[in-house]
Amino acid sequence: MTTSTPAVAGWFTTGDDPRLVASRCTSCGTLAFPPPPPEAASFCRNPACDGDAHEPAELSRVGRVWSYTDAQYQPPPPYVPTTDPFQPFALAAVELPEGLVVLGQVADGYGVADLAVGAEVELVVETLYTDDDGERTIWRWKPVVELGEEADQ
Amino acid sequence: MSKQVAVAGVGMHPWGKWGRPFVEYGVHAARAALADSGIAWSDVDFVVGGETVRNGYAGYVAGSTFASALGWNGARIATSYAACATGAQALDTARARILAGMSEVALVVGADTTPKGFLAPNAGERWTDPDWLRFRLLGMTNPAYFALYARRRMDLYGATSEDFAQVKVKNARHGLENPYARYRKEVAVADVLGSAIVSDPLHLLDICATSDGAAAVVLTSLDYARRHGLADPVRVEAISTVTPTFPNAVIDMPLLATDHAADGAPERTFKESLALAAYEEAGIGPDDVDVAEVYDLSTALELDWIEDLGLCKRGEAEVLLRAGDTTIGGRIPVNPSGGLACFGEAVPAQALAQVCELTWQLRGQATGRQVDGARGRDGHPRVGITANQGLFGHGSSVLLAR
C-alpha cells in the first residue's frame, strides 16, 4: 500500500471533511492563507494591527466560484506532470464565506464547462503527483451541483 | 514648487527575439534617447537602470551596466526593480532626484533578453516562494491568471471571445507602421478564434509574447530644458507607483489567495488606485486624457484597464471597443503603439516604452499611428496616460502632458 501525504504540510486537513488551514492573528482575527511556515515569524497583514502571534484556523469547506480557467498546455517546472501526453486540468478561484478568495485546481473529471462565476464548489483532497515518498495530495475544488443536473431540475 | 520635469528625449531598440545581450539593446536605446534630446552623454549626471532578473549579475546592477557601457562619465547610478512597473519606478527615482535639485539630467534605461515560452520561476526547491509554489502546487501560469480576469468579464459583463479578438485586431492594425513593434501584420477575428486555447477563454493570440527590447528616456529639470532651448517639451505630470491597500480583494499573480476582506471588498481595487493617485498628483481627471497606453498582457486585460483608468464605467469597456472609441481616430485611442499585442513583453523596458510612445504622440511624431487631438498643440493630443501592474504589489501609472 502506498502512503498518501499532503504535497505541502499544514495547509489543509484530510479525511472525510477536509479543510484549508489558514492562520488567524490572535490580536485582531485577520486570516491569512497560505499560513506561514511554523518556524517563520508571522506579522499580521492588517496594517492597523501589530500582532505577531497566530493560530491555525480551518476555513469553510464550501465557497462560490470567483472565476475559473484551465491549463491546456503543460505548465513549466516546478509543475510535476503526471500523464504523458499532458491532460488539461481546470483551475478555480473560490470566494469563501470568511472573505478570502483561494485558488485551486478543480477536481479530477471536471472542466470549465462544469463551472460558472458564482457557482458553489466544495473542497476535496486528491492526488497531485507521486514521488519517492508515495502519493502527494493537494486540495481541489469540486462543483457541488453539476450544471447539467441543475438544468434538469 | 513645480512637480514637473521635462522629457527631453526618448529612444528605443526594436522589439524582437534577437538573442543578443540586453546591454546592446539598452545602449542602442540610450544613445537614441540622447540623440533625440540633443544632450551630450557627458551632461548626464544620473543614470537609472531597470533591473533584469534573467541576465545574471550585469542585469542585477543595470544602472552600473549601462553607465559603464556608455563609458564611465562620473554620473551617479541607481538600479530599480518593480516587476512590470520597473521602468516607471526607475523614472520616478530619476524624477525625485531632479525635483530635489540634486540632478539636472537623468538617463533612464530598461532592456531585456528573454527566454522562450511561459515565464517560469527561479530554479531550485523554493517552498516559501509563492512564485514557485503556484507552479508546483497548482500549475498556475501567468496566462491562467489573465484568463481568470477575462472569464469574469464574460460572466459578469457579457464580454465575448469576439470582443477579446477585436482588441487584438485593433492593436495589430495600430502597430502596423510602428518601426519598434515586433509583430507588424494584420490579424482577423477568425485568426484569434482559430488559434489554440491556452487557458480558457484565452487563445494564443489573446496573450502577449515575451520579447527582447529596450527603451530609454532622458529627463531634465524644466530649468535645464529652458536654458538649453528645449521648446515646449513633453512634461511628466505624475508618476504613480502606489502599493495596494489592505485588504487587496482581487487575486494577484503570483499569489494563491487574496487578503482577508472581513468586511467585504474595499472601495477601490489596486489597479483603480494606481490611476487615481496619478490623476490626483497631476490635478486632472479621466476626462482630460486624450490617449492611453495600457498593459495588454492579454486582450481582455486592456478592457479592464480602460475601466481602471476611469475612461468609462465598470463593465462598459466593450461598448467603447465596439463603437471604435478606442481605435486611432476614435474618442479615446488605447494602445496606438500596438501595445503588448504587437511588442511582446520586455519587462524592464516596457513601462518606458509606453512613455516613449506617448511622448511621440504628444509631439505629433508617431508616424503612421498618430492620434489626433483637438485639445493639444498643433492638433496633437495634450494628455497621455500609461498603466501597468506587475507581481508583488508593483504597478504604475504615468501622466504626460504637452
Tell me the pLDDT tens digit for each residue of B27-84. 999 999 999 999 999 999 999 999 999 899 999 999 999 999 999 999 999 999 999 9
Phi, psi of A38 (to 5 degrees): -55, -35
CA–CA distance, B47 with B27 (Å, rounded to integer): 12
pLDDT in tens, B133-180: 999 999 999 999 999 999 999 999 999 999 999 999 999 999 999 999
Cβ pair A73:B198 closer than 8 A: yes
- Predicted ipTM of the assembly: 0.94
CA–CA distance, B179 with B252 (Å, rounded to integer): 33
Q: Please, how many CA atoms are within 13 Å of residue B113, restricted to the half-sphere of its CB?
A: 14
A145 belongs to a structural domain: yes
Cβ pair A100:B256 closer than 8 A: no
Q: What does each C-alpha distance from B139 to A93, B130, B143 come to in angstroms? A: 13, 12, 11
Return the ∠ at Cα A98 (arms to A92 and A104), rounded to 5°.
20
A79 belongs to a structural domain: yes
Q: Is domain B130-203+236-401 classified as CATH 3.40.50.10420?
A: no
Residue boundaries of the structural domains of chain B = 5-117+212-234, 130-203+236-401
Quick one: what percent of chain B has pLDDT higher than 90?
Answer: 91
Which residues are CB-contacts of B100 (< 8 A; sequence separation ≥ 6)? none
The residue behind cell 479525511 is: A15
According to the model, what pLDDT value does residue B159 have?
Answer: 98
Across residues B298-302, what is the average pLDDT? Answer: 98
Per-chain mean pLDDT for chain B: 96
Nearest by CB to B199, from A29, A40, A70: name it: A70
Q: What does each C-alpha distance from B97 to B103, B134, B277 come to in angstroms? A: 6, 38, 20
Tell me if B125 sits within 8 A of B119, measured CB to CB. Answer: no
A56 belongs to a structural domain: no
Mutate to test the interface with A, among B118, B140, B154, B250 (most CBs of A within 10 A): B140
Amino acid present at A16: D
Residue of A2 and A81 predicted with greater confidence: A81
Nearest by CB to A67, from B134, B151, B259: name it: B151
Q: Which residues of B touch A72 (CB under 8 A)?
A: 196-200
Mutate to test the interface with B, among A44, A60, A103 (most CBs of B within 10 A): A103
Cβ pair A69:B120 closer than 8 A: no
A55 belongs to a structural domain: no
| Closest CA of chain A from B242, distance in Å | 15
Determine the 3-state secondary structure of B124 from DSSP. coil
Tell me if A43 sits within 8 A of B109, measured CB to CB. Answer: no
Q: What is the DSSP string of B241-281?
A: -PPP-S---S--TT-SB----TT-S-SS-HHHHHHHHHHHH
Residue B345 DSSP one-character state: B
What CATH code is carried by the domain that includes residue A70?
Answer: 2.40.50
According to the model, what pLDDT value does residue A152 have?
Answer: 46
| Closest CA of chain A from B380, distance in Å | 41
Across residues A9-23, what is the average pLDDT? Answer: 96
Cβ pair B151:A47 closer than 8 A: no
Q: What is the DSSP string of A45-77?
A: S-TT-----EEEEEPPSEEEEEEEEEE-SPPPT
Cβ pair A33:B256 closer than 8 A: yes
- Name the domain count of chain A: 1
Cβ pair B144:A7 closer than 8 A: no
Nearest by CB to B262, from A22, A99, A128: name it: A99
A26 belongs to a structural domain: no
At the topology level of CATH, where does B5-117+212-234 sit?
Answer: Peroxisomal Thiolase; Chain A, domain 1 (3.40.47)
Cβ pair A34:B256 closer than 8 A: yes
Phi, psi of B291 (to 5 degrees): -160, 145
According to the model, what pLDDT value does residue B116 have?
Answer: 73
> Domain range for residue A105?
62-152
CA–CA distance, B197 with B205 (Å, rounded to integer): 9
Distance of CA B381 to the CA centre of its chain: 19
CA–CA distance, A57 with B108 (Å, rounded to integer): 47
A87 belongs to a structural domain: yes
A24 belongs to a structural domain: no
Phi, psi of A134 (to 5 degrees): 105, -155
CA–CA distance, B94 with B102 (Å, rounded to integer): 10
Cβ pair A101:B246 closer than 8 A: no
Residue of B74 and B116 predicted with greater confidence: B74
pLDDT in tens, B205-223: 999 999 999 999 999 999 9
| Closest CA of chain A from B157, distance in Å | 11
pLDDT in tens, A93-143: 999 999 999 999 999 999 999 999 999 999 999 999 999 889 999 999 999
